Structure 1
Amino acid sequence: MRTATEDALRTAGLDPVDVTRIVQTALEEDLGPDRIDVTSVATVPAEQVDTVDVVAREDGVLAGLAVAAAVFELADEASPARTVEVRLHARDGDRVARGDVLATVTGPTRTLLTAERTALNLLTRMSGVATHARAWADALAGSKTMVLDTRKTTPGLRVLEKYAVRAGGGTNKRMGLYDVAMIKDNHKLAAGGISPAYRRVREAFPEVPIQVEVTTVAEAVEAVEAGAKFLLCDNMTATLLAEVVKVVGDRAELEATGGLTLDVAAEYAATGVDYLSVGALTHSSPILDIALDLRPADTGR
């Protein structure tokens, strides 16, 4: 991909190597082992050049524009001319409206049509996540509470979906099983309780942050006394959560999770909890409708 796109990805906190891997996998899925778009090759002369506009079909929050640019540029690697030019007219995190032109791409028509679906699949998915995250951020505005994502992501797309959460005003939690230890109910059962589970993790991985899942006030107290600085309050009512917040005080950060919806966001934020984690940000966000419009021949070349 071109340097400008690589720079845009790095600015967004995305590794161009990761994005290249994801995009190449997606293109291979569409093009098969021979990397060919049989329809475009059959209907469009190899020398034809056109311009397309990337256009919002509904209001929402944008995420993934540089990723879409990378799709067009990497698809163009197979073109001898390698002349695709991408011009971005918006930025990730922007609120966009139906009809807004988000980007313009000029290049071999075959390349544009070949890259279209892959670019839109990633862009609409990421923008849908960002739009959902912004709704939560707006619902929590004015409180100390922030919305967190989870590991309930599309396999292979975690880095992109978590980036989209950030673009929408949300906050990332752990990336995987390696960067934060999460002691859940099954770990507690296997280890014989909260305290021994916490002790074993701390001894095995002294530098790794630890979070403990709790469901009662008593468990929250035990976890804090064991040394935990981050508690996951699972499936608690707002009333019970408020009690945990009061008892724990500033001894640990608190995260509420479990079936949370936008209509109860303010109620839970009022408890003073630090975070609300919402798996639906990444597992249930609808896409944001975005399309690719080929300009008429007399204006597009």
Structure 2
Amino acid sequence: MCLSEFTSQKLPLLVKGGASSSFMVVAGHEDICRYFTKESESVVVSVEYCLAPENRFPAQLNDCLAATTHFLETAEDYGVDSGRVIVAGDSAGGQLAALVCQSLVSRPELAKVCAQILIYPGLQAVDFNLPSYQQNRAVPILFRKRAAFYTLQYMNGDASFLEEVLEGYHVPEYRKQQYRKWLCADKIPIQFKARGYKPPVPVSCVNEVYEAVKGLSVPDGSPLLVEDAVLRQLPKTCLVTCEYDVLRDDGLLYKKRLEDNKVPVTWYHIANGFHGILSFFDKGWLTFPSGKKGMDNIVSFIKSL
């Protein structure tokens, strides 16, 4: 997966029960959006937000928030119910979908989002040594080093201090202590450590690294690190994870946080899946049955709302 693909994951807005299907989709996700529209009888709007590294975070979030807010305010113009809007995204788009839903908590004048669908989302940039990062460090299509590289490009505009970030030199001790209750390998079920996990050797923060990339260790861009007061106001959630994905544990940890805050979570884990597998649900000889099953599980969730 090249940089442009990772940083351009689109944020679909799925509107349940629209009178007809309409599309504002981007080529990379058109097949997925069309499938969701047809199978769930929903309107799908796909947001083409600005890309990194030319545009740094939060430019992408601002684009998605603007599009979502506009749609919620004008839903009737499209013949849909503003109270039936679902925010969804995969990979980097999953992070943006989660951040959009968190941001909308403070917008009571808007219709409340009906649900969020987070498909193998990246939800934190503090710990690149969780079990899934270790186990799947060399599994295509998203390697561990590539994930950190893309994150730095996305958040910082360049990949300086890549090796230092991988080892954890960018996180101050007080931040580690603050996040330990949410972001810790101990919070991950034991079965997901069966393929081997070695707790990393603790390292001390290097101030130069922290100052250069401090946006990585604050909650603004990491949905997993937001306070409970925000989480408990989030809508029903569909969360998809894949066993052979460095981002698997981000999803597992967020699932636990949502459930701890009484947010209903429907979880689909693709036991033999890899990052991006849903994009291969209908690719001829490159089709993966697990990708198709994952798509159908999401459709079932949409129909259940």
TM-score normalized by the length of structure 2: 0.29
Q: Relative contact order: is structure 1 or structure 2 higher (C-alpha 8 Å, sep ≥ 6)? A: 1
TM-score normalized by the length of structure 1: 0.29
Name the larger-Rg structure.
1
